[in-house]
Amino acid sequence: MPILNGAIKNEIEQNPHEMNLISSLKIKIEQNSHEMNLISSLKIKIEQNSLQMNLISLLKIEIEQNSLQMNLISLLKIEIEQNSLQMNLISLLKIEIEQNSLEMNLISSLKKISQIIVAHSI
């Protein structure tokens, strides 16, 4: 498996188009002060909860130690954003979920954790 992981990583790194998309996405997020402020606010909130911080740290370390996972996460994020049909489906799903407050609370918690992880990994 390490040979396959290395081969896929090399393939991604050798594709300037994919690398440019990843760089563009990073720049786009960094240039959006509203997004950055939301991420900062969530970071502060989560940092005040030591149990959440420990869980996030462990998850972050696990993801960061796997460069293939990091590349796949970046590519998946870009691919979804470039596909308007997928974006529409995600929007419809979001609306449906938002009508269920219990699901919303669970998803909000997961979203906060994932945003922190993404913010730290960029």
Reported as a single tens digit per residue, the pLDDT across 54-78 is: 776 776 776 667 777 667 777 777 7
**What is the SS3 assignment for 95?**
helix
- Residue 88, token pair as written in the block: 């529409």
Residue 77: other Cβ atoms inside 10 A: 15
Note whether 97 and 104 are within 8 A (CB): yes
Residues in the chain with pLDDT < 70? 1-13, 18-19, 21-22, 25-26, 28-30, 32, 35-36, 38-39, 42, 46-47, 52-53, 56, 59, 62-64, 69-70, 86-90, 92-100, 102-107, 121-122
Who's near 89: CB < 8 A, 6+ residues apart? none
State the pTM of this model. Answer: 0.23
